[in-house]
């Protein structure tokens, strides 16, 4: 008798949910008839980086949740939150219940930056700051803002650098209309940053910003965006980059507009500096007191070389936003340099090139931490098509009955959350927002035990 193909997808962020959607809508070859998916998620809530990565003042991006919720209405897709792969469940456990396992675990931490002074007080990774302002349960509730930190540096000119700079330059009051948790609002009141200096080690045509996000930087009445003319150069490689990609030309146009604009006298300023390569974070008594950069120059190809000229910037905190990095997954190979699980179009392969049958990856753990949320769809389509091609030859699960999973998690005493549980927590957070004196759309619950209690009530 045929049955549904049973697949575990580890990670219920956009990459995992898109993969579940595509798989359950696909034709699955014999001996299976259709597919059913369990999303296994470490957080008690679904949606991964939409909840814990997208900045709170980006409600437009958070709207993607509506589409993901429609996917989750499919009864062939279940959600098991608060279950940690590696701690609560290992690959061998999953293999008992599923014919295939797809990892969509993303990239959750900051890429290392080997810079003297990186461990000083006041030197932070962007991912940690993002987790804090997005109210992730596993991080400290207080952010260590200090009363002397009026000038801060942000290293890296990608969209995370923009998010971090914007949140640092905005006032707590401006952010109160968003879904930030109470502890974040209280914390942001202690932020005294007036000047946020963003450093690009290359030129304006090499930044990784996207045009809309860059334009939006000036939408706050409390912020002036100041692009500094030093290093604002376009070499032949830059001109080629602009010709090749319309979005890169738009980015340079927006930067040029900022460059030409007189500051309005707003209380907070975001400065963007080009051709400044950070070489050292300067400290005194263990605390950040400055940043040292080497001035660079474009070499004609869009890359830069050092000039041997150095500058010191008096800043009291440094946030590095130089890219994310994925966690190593127990039982799976890992490419430390690229920070991904080695794979061929989504099929996991061992370091020696041999296949790890029935195990797949999609999203940032597959291709590295680049690209917008929408890009994970085509990525998921590729991975799922591989899985479907492989389906007839997969080693079948010993216990394919979906109820066996509930029984197993229950027998292990794991306090997992379900989709119904998430709906309860969602309603609770929306209710908190409505009841708030400022009638906010949502107020996030932060402690894990509170989330789990509400979801399981």
| Interface residue list for ligand NAP (CB under 6 A) | 58, 61, 113, 155-161, 163, 201-202, 206, 208, 210, 213, 278, 321-324, 369-372
* Closer by beta carbon to ligand NAP, 195 or else 213: 213
* Closer by beta carbon to ligand NAP, 252 or else 322: 322
Tokens of 335: 């490419």
442, 72 Cβ separation under 8 angstroms: no
DSSP 363-378: THHHH-S-S-TTHHHH
* Closer by beta carbon to ligand NAP, 41 or else 163: 163
Q: How far apart are CB 161 and ligand NAP at their closest, in Å? A: 5
Q: How far apart are CB 201 and ligand NAP at their closest, in Å? A: 4
Which helix H or strand E contains 384, and what residues bound it?
helix 375-390
Q: How far apart are CB 324 and ligand NAP at their closest, in Å? A: 5
Q: How far apart are CB 175 and ligand NAP at their closest, in Å? A: 16
* Triad 431, 435, 439: Cα angle to 5°: 100
Q: At what angle do helices 14-24 and 375-390 cross, to 10 degrees?
A: 50
* Triad 14, 76, 137: Cα angle to 5°: 40
Q: How far apart are CB 321 and ligand NAP at their closest, in Å? A: 5
Q: How many CB atoms are located within 10 Å of the residue 296 CB? A: 21
* Closer by beta carbon to ligand NAP, 170 or else 208: 208
Q: How far apart are CB 17 and ligand NAP at their closest, in Å? A: 17
Q: How far apart are CB 174 and ligand NAP at their closest, in Å? A: 17
Helix, strand, or coil (residue 243)? helix
User: Residue with the closest Cβ to ligand NAP?
Assistant: 158
Q: How far apart are CB 414 and ligand NAP at their closest, in Å? A: 31
Q: How far apart are CB 123 and ligand NAP at their closest, in Å? A: 13
* Closer by beta carbon to ligand NAP, 84 or else 307: 307
Would you call the peptide bond into 386 cis, given omega within 30 degrees of 0 as the criterion?
no
Q: What whole-number distance in Å separates Cα of residue 184 and Cα of residue 194?
A: 19
Contacts of 402 (CB under 8 A, 6+ apart): 6, 36, 38, 78
* Closer by beta carbon to ligand NAP, 69 or else 375: 375
* Closer by beta carbon to ligand NAP, 156 or else 433: 156
* Closer by beta carbon to ligand NAP, 193 or else 200: 200
> Which residues are bridge partners to 101 per DSSP?
8, 359
* Closer by beta carbon to ligand NAP, 95 or else 170: 170
CA dihedral 216, 217, 223, 224 (to 10 degrees): -110
Tokens of 317: 């905190």
* Triad 383, 387, 390: Cα angle to 5°: 140
37, 388 Cβ separation under 8 angstroms: no
Q: At what angle do helices 14-24 and 64-72 cross, to 10 degrees?
A: 40
Contacts of 381 (CB under 8 A, 6+ apart): 22
Tokens of 294: 């080497």
Q: How far apart are CB 134 and ligand NAP at their closest, in Å? A: 11
Q: What whole-number distance in Å separates Cα of residue 357 and Cα of residue 332?
A: 11
Q: What whole-number distance in Å separates Cα of residue 373 and Cα of residue 68?
A: 12
């Amino acid at each position: 008798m045929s049955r549904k193909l049973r697949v575990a997808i580890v990670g219920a962020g956009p990459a995992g949910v898109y993969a579940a959607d595509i798989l359950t809508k696909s034709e699955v070859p014999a001996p299976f008839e259709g597919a059913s998916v369990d999303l296994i998620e470490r957080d008690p809530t679904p949606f991964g980086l939409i909840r814990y990565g997208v900045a709170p003042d980006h409600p437009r991006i958070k709207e993607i949740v509506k589409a993901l919720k429609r996917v989750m209405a499919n009864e062939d897709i279940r959600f098991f939150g608060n279950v940690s792969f590696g701690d609560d469940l290992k690959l061998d456990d999953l293999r008992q219940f599923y014919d295939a396992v797809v990892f969509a675990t993303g990239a959750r931490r900051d890429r290392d930056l080997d810079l003297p002074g990186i461990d000083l007080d006041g030197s932070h990774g962007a991912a940690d700051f993002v987790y804090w302002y997005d109210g992730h349960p596993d991080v400290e509730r207080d952010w260590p803002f200090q009363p002397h930190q009026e000038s801060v540096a942000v290293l890296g000119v990608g969209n995370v650098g923009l998010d971090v700079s914007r949140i640092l330059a905005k006032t707590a009051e401006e952010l109160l209309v968003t879904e930030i948790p109470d502890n974040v609002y209280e914390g942001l009141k202690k932020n005294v940053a007036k000047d946020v200096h963003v450093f690009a080690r290359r030129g304006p045509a090499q930044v990784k910003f996207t045009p809309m996000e860059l334009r939006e930087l000036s939408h706050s009445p409390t912020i002036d965006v100041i692009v500094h003319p030093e290093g604002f150069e376009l070499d032949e490689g830059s001109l080629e980059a602009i010709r090749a990609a319309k979005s890169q030309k738009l980015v340079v146009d927006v930067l040029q507009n900022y460059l030409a604009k007189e500051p309005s006298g707003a209380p907070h300023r975001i400065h963007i500096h080009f051709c400044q390569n950070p070489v050292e974070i300067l400290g005194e008594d263990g605390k950040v007191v400055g940043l040292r950069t080497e001035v660079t120059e474009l070499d004609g190809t869009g890359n830069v070389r050092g000039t041997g000229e150095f500058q010191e910037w008096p800043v009291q905190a440094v946030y590095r936003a130089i890219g994310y990095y994925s966690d190593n997954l127990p039982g799976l190979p890992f490419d430390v340099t690229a920070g991904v699980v080695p794979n061929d179009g989504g099929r996991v392969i061992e370091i020696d090139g041999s296949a790890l049958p029935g195990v797949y990856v999609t999203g940032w753990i597959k291709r590295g931490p680049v690209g917008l949320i929408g890009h994970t769809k085509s990525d998921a389509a590729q991975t799922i098509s591989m899985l479907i091609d492989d389906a007839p030859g997969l080693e079948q699960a010993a216990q394919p009955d979906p109820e066996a999973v509930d029984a197993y998690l229950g027998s292990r005493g794991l306090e997992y959350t379900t989709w119904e549980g998430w709906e309860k927590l969602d309603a609770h957070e929306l209710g908190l927002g409505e009841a708030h004196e400022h009638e906010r759309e949502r107020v996030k619950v932060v402690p894990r035990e509170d989330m789990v209690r509400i979801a399981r009530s």
